[in-house]
Amino acid sequence: MNLNKANSYFYFVVLSLLFILLTTISYSSLYNGLLILNFNMDYLFFVLCLLVLFIASLIVLFFFNVFGGTQYFLIGSCIFSVYCFCINNFLLFWVSYELSIIFLLFLIYSDSPYTDRFLAGWYLFAYSFLCGLPLLVLLFYCGKDSVLGFDNNISFSIDSFSGLLLCLVFIAKIPLIPFHTWLPIVHAEASTVVSICLSGYIMKLGLVGIVRFCLNVLDSNLVLSYTVFAFIGCLLQFFCSMEEFDFKRWLAMLSVAHIGVSVVCLLTNAQSGIEKSLLFGLGHGISAGYFFLLIMVLGVIGGGRNSSMLSVINSWSISNVWLLLVGFCLVASFPPVVNFFIEVWLLSVFNNIFMWVVLLSIYLFFSSLIPLSLLGYGLTRRFGNYILYINESYLVSFCLLFFYTVLLLV
């Protein structure tokens, strides 16, 4: 038996044992019913399971020839993320949450072809450890005097301070600004399949936590103030992304900038806001997964991930142009992408609040301008490094000046 096959059997046995152990513990009645399993098959479960199914399909279609235990780690991450969507117990929710991230952490070390993967692994480990342990402590504290499960819209009884801390941890798990700085580094050093999973469904697990546990604190002034601050930071991310030449770092920054819309949708304090937030997460994961796959294809046929390669690649065949066009339209939330209609719906909901109208209008403008302008440079073959540097320097300065002027007027 060769080494690769032996490793495959080993990983398969480990994954099977973990799955059996979790299932056995779930059906047990230890600690007076602490771990009684109950599933919650609701709108959140079906929407996000559709996202995981899409990502799993991409993995099967394009990464079916991966060696060793890679495929088992990917399957394990997908399985435990689905557990996280539907499990109706806070302890098993935490276990599923962390395991879905840990499997990808192993893949960064074992599957990434880049030299700085160990640094990226430490960043992801710190993210998992520094957020995971406080999350476990808070879940135990908040659930000590209440029903140990949860429902779609009914969080268990918690005081406002604990609820705010819990909401902060889940925001850091998404991550929103200012907890996002590790994400572009990890994406740049991770393999394509890990990047697809991270932006596809791992970022949505934090959103799941907010929907499951923190809806009753979203109307507090502190959360509202932070959301405004974070959304302004998301707008600044668009401008910062214009200086990135690495396509994966560029897309990671855009991914952070877009995910803030899902949290803003939850501020409407209505069932429709929850549904729109989850639906936006679905569109966000599909567009990010497709574009990371497109970056891998561009790297293979163009020899690198530098955005200046667009001018060369699109001239090779008309099929490359269509792949680029679809990818950039998805990232730009261009109609008929569902994210565009959710953003317009959000603007109509806050039409009587001047500050949100201004912020959302700026968001709608620049969220489409940045990707489509990059596509335009590539399609017109005016995309050299020198030209890009000059144009982006003036464009960033102009955008920042315009943005700060609007904020002063607001």
**Distance of CA 107 to CAs 43, 286, 289, Å?**
31, 21, 17
Peptide bond into 335 cis (omega under 30): no
The set of residues, in sequence order, having a beta carbon less than 8 Å from that of 3 and lying 6+ positions away, is: none
Q: How far apart are CA 138 and CA 213, in angstroms?
A: 11
Return all residues near 92 (Cβ < 8 A) that are at least 6 apart.
22, 25, 26, 35, 37, 83
Name the DSSP class of 64: T
What are the domain boundaries of the chain?
1-148+157-408
Cis peptide before 175 (omega within 30 of 0): yes
Task: Give CA separation, 348 vs 42, 299, 338, in Å.
Answer: 27, 40, 16
CA-CA distance, 313 to 157, in Å (whole number)? 56
pLDDT for position 403: 54
Q: Is the whole model's pTM more than 0.85, yes or no?
A: no
CB 218 within 8 A of CB 267: yes
From first to last of its 410 residues, the chain has per-residue pLDDT tens of: 444 544 454 455 445 545 555 554 444 444 444 444 566 778 888 899 899 988 888 877 777 665 556 777 888 888 889 888 888 777 888 888 988 998 888 888 877 777 778 888 888 888 888 888 888 888 877 765 554 455 443 444 455 777 888 888 999 888 888 888 888 888 888 888 889 999 889 999 999 989 888 888 888 888 888 888 888 888 888 888 877 778 888 888 888 889 989 999 998 877 788 889 999 999 999 999 999 988 888 877 766 777 767 766 666 667 777 888 888 888 888 888 889 999 999 988 888 888 888 888 888 888 888 888 887 777 775 544 434 444 444 455 555 555 555 554 45
| pLDDT at residue 6, rounded to an integer | 43
State the pLDDT at residue 390. 40
pLDDT for res 383: 47
